[in-house]
Amino acid sequence: MKKGFTLSEMLVTLAVISFLVMVLFPVLKKSLPNQEQAMFKKAYYITERIISELINDDDLYPELREFDTGNPYFGNTVKIEHNGTDYEGDTKFCELFASKINRSSVVTCTSKTAENFTNGTLPTGTLVTADGIVWRLPITKFESATDAYDIFIDVNGNKSPNCVYNKSTCQKPDRFNIKVYQDGRVSVEGTMEIEYLNRVDISKDAKSITEQAKKDEEE
């Protein structure tokens, strides 16, 4: 007759399993992806794609002719009709950008679009995408060819920490800033924005590789 496990054998088995969990759990935890970094990179690449689509669509942003007045590229805020909707003025960019993104909320492109992206506060923006990212799009006519216009994002919505990077108070931020120029250039300037875009390894314990991040760590 086949015997079952004895109590002592079960205790030894449980002890071995517990030991393996203790040894492997920290390793597995470190190998998990940095969710904030992954979501920021996703938002950045979405921004690049949409900006490219908009700036290269002559129906949305037609090139200025010799006798036209006004600003070129995104600065060309004259009225256009697209898919049955008119777009013009300082909300043109915001509304067109919003029309090309997979959103799960209403779109609020007004001059009073919530400014609430300060540390610790719940984010209120222009729209929320299906993946939970809160976006605050600029309300502007892109009148300057040299100034950057800001897209603010909170990659996990209402979840904490609801803060931008600060080496003392917010080392793992969930809020980021993407800069857009009149001619369609897209860039980042913040420490963690640069860090996250340049870092190949997105595990939680990945070391910093950008010069600014290294300086912040050393200070």
State residue 142's pLDDT score. 96
pLDDT of residue 118: 76
For residue 218, the model assigns a pLDDT of: 46
**What is the predicted pLDDT for the residue at 13?**
74
Which positions of the chain have pLDDT values less than 50?
A: 1, 27-29, 31-32, 201-214, 216-219
How many angstroms separate the CA atoms of 219 and 191, rounded?
14
Name the nearest CA neighbour of 147 among 187, 182, 115, 97: 182
Q: Residue 173 has what pLDDT?
A: 94
pLDDT confidence of residue 52: 96
> Taking Cα atoms as reference points, which of 164, 170, 207, 208 lies closest to residue 189?
164
Radius of gyration (C-alpha) of the chain in whole angstroms? 24
Exposure string (b/e) for 7-35, b if CB count within 10 Å is 16 or more? eeeeeeeeeeeeeeeeeeeeeeeeeeebe
SS3 annotation, 138-176:
CCCCCCCCCCCEEEEEECCCCCCCCCCCECCCECCCCEE
